[in-house]
A and B are shown apart, each in its own frame.
Chain A
């Protein structure tokens, strides 16, 4: 493995922020590298891709510009160059130490060189927040993405979580007029809409029925790879393991002990456990906001409802983008960064 690849590159510009305390898990993410499963590469990227896109669009960035994903306990950051930052996703209680000013998800703030940004917590409305800077953070692309592949050790900042002393640059210097996302701030619903999985019949009807009827809690043994659920074991024909097959984000697997696993964004591309159900694509952002202790329930829907939910989500997002462009008076700049 080439050593240069994992060493942070010399920034083209002066750094815009420095990590004083890294928080629980802070990583550089974008919308991932979704087409490489046949190479054994997880799609990766933001666990709540909608929130990452919101934080970016508030600054006029491309939706998939590199941003920071913050988890539960946010980092403490020293601002090194005056800029505008935007936040979206869960509310980790961000505030500027010097002024006491708070920054709510869906909004942006000009922050001055020398200021410190801290996150008091506790997180509300989810567990992950996204912090964007103008143009996105400046990191090398690996396999077409700035996302950090933690397990594999590449991408983002050297394939690892941020730590104290790290300095990051933005692709655009200076400030952007602060704006506020005019759409709904992501609600953290604990209800996940699902479709029957390819092995539902093989496992037996009782398993799917129990999944939907059950009250589940996300176990502490959960991360970006998947959510392990507490709340009982699903009954079913002991199918054991199946031949390894491709799986997707949102797949709900039933391992031998019956405790469901919901795959998230860093899932292994193939798996052998039977898949009893799959969360609808529109609910992936909801899954990305569930963490240890979160309650989670499942609701069985059909294909039409799944499609309608996704269409609605995308149309709402596009409408908010257009509204923001009008409010902010951005035209050419906006167009040049759409994508």
Chain B
């Protein structure tokens, strides 16, 4: 296992970025999630941080520049980084989300091109994609968009060279080591292999997001 080299850098005058390492995958995403949880505990105890933003292998910690300097934030966060387990396990009480997906055809216009690129049948791509339980690593890009990992190596493909300007809401997509579902219509560069009707974000609900980091997602072909 490579050594983790955490870096804490100023991100402007109102935030610091804690980077946990370069190897993108479940391990560092879990560390990021746990670190964000530790930051939330500090906040609850009165430290003037804003809500932390976990990423693939990092946590952005914002604050009011008149409450803290980046140097002070760094001093508060260093011991927290040290306290997060190096190889955390899965979330024990995680919510499981079965997500029915209509694969291919108009719902998944990239399924066939992806299959061809990989030298597989479309049906094999579907079997591999739906045969794995994914972990919700972090949310970003759009309200309710969850980065799911890790995609089995056999179906790893890069993003589109030119992103689409319109991706249908509910599109199930893959790119690099991640899978994801576009919650609303948006632009997007990931490969679209299917669609689901399950709503992922409703601002009127509490909580508004369906997927939370640490949850598990399994795609179910319809």
Contacts and interface: CB of A to CB of B under 8 A. Distances in A.
Contact of B12 (A2, A142, A248): A248
Contact of A303 (B60, B69, B140, B204): B69
B53 A251 contact: no
A1 B53 contact: no
Contact of A248 (B15, B57, B71, B186): B15
B55 A270 contact: yes
B9 A198 contact: yes
Contacts of B59: 246
A56 B37 CA distance: 37
- Which bucket holds chain B's interface residue count? 35 or more
Interface string B1-37: 0000001011111110101001010001000000010
Given A244-B147, A314-B66, A303 B13 contact: yes
Interface stretch (A35-43, A65-73, A160-168, A319-327): A35-43
A34 interface: yes
B139 A245 contact: no
A314 B19 CA distance: 32
B14 A248 contact: yes
Interface string A205-222: 000000000000000000
B contact face: mostly helix, strand, loop, or mixed:
loop
A307 B24 contact: no
B65 A281 contact: yes
Interface string A172-207: 000000000000000000000001111000000000
B51 interface: yes
Interface in B170-222: 183-184, 186, 199, 201-204, 207-209
A36 B17 CA distance: 17
B13 A310 contact: yes
B69 to A, nearest CB: 6
Interface in A1-53: 1-2, 5, 34-41
A37 B19 contact: no
Given A143-B203, A154-B203, A306 B65 contact: yes
Contacts of B14: 248, 281
Interface residues of A, number: 45
A14 to B, nearest CB: 27
Contacts of B147: 244
Interface in A240-265: 243-248, 250-251
Contacts of A196: 10
A1 B197 CA distance: 11
Contacts of B207: 39
Contacts of A245: 17, 19, 55-58, 60
Interface of B: 7, 9-15, 17, 19, 22, 24, 28, 36, 50-60, 62, 65-66, 69-71, 138-145, 147, 183-184, 186, 199, 201-204, 207-209
7 contacts: A34-B50, A40-B139, A197-B11, A198-B11, A245-B58, A248-B62, A281-B14
Interface of A: 1-2, 5, 34-41, 142-143, 149, 151-155, 195-198, 243-248, 250-251, 268-270, 275, 278-281, 303, 306-307, 310-311, 314
10 nearest interchain CB pairs?
A246-B60, A270-B140, A246-B53, A278-B12, A198-B9, A245-B55, A306-B13, A243-B56, A245-B58, A40-B139
